[in-house]
């Protein structure tokens, strides 16, 4: 009888740990320009709300900078014709890579919006 109780306790602990990891990775936050710029480590939780609320494609570069701040200083995915924003560790149970918001620009307007992993 003690062996069965012990097994159930172990399974319960494993279940709680798994729920914690899944719960930590699905927490969503409402996008705000101030929070995006002040707390880059929370961007991964705000990006879906950002993309739902704002039509970035077609937006002028000046509006992007006003909304999101300056592009992240990085070589990842950076070209002369885009803006790149670090979002944080990739979403999912095992976060090996990072996610990035990449805005392709032409004539100082966003032409393409992508979320990429490195």
Could you give the C-alpha distances from 70 to 86, 88, 116, in angstroms and in order?
A: 11, 16, 18
Q: How confident is the model at residue 81 (pLDDT cuts 50, 70, 90)?
A: very high
pLDDT at 54: 95
Whole-number Å distance between alpha carbons of 66 and 40: 15
Please write the tens of the pLDDT for every residue from 45-60.
999 999 999 999 999 9
């Amino acid at each position: 009888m003690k062996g069965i109780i012990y097994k159930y306790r172990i399974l319960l602990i494993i279940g709680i740990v798994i729920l914690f990891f899944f719960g930590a990775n699905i927490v969503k936050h409402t996008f705000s320009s101030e929070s995006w710029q002040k707390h880059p480590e929370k961007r991964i939780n705000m990006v879906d709300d950002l993309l739902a609320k704002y039509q970035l494609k077609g937006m002028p570069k000046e509006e992007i900078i006003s909304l999101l701040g300056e592009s992240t200083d990085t070589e990842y995915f950076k070209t002369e014709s885009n803006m790149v924003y670090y979002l944080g560790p990739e979403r999912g149970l095992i976060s090996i890579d990072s996610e990035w918001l990449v805005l392709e620009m032409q004539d100082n307007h966003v032409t393409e919006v992508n979320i990429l992993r490195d």
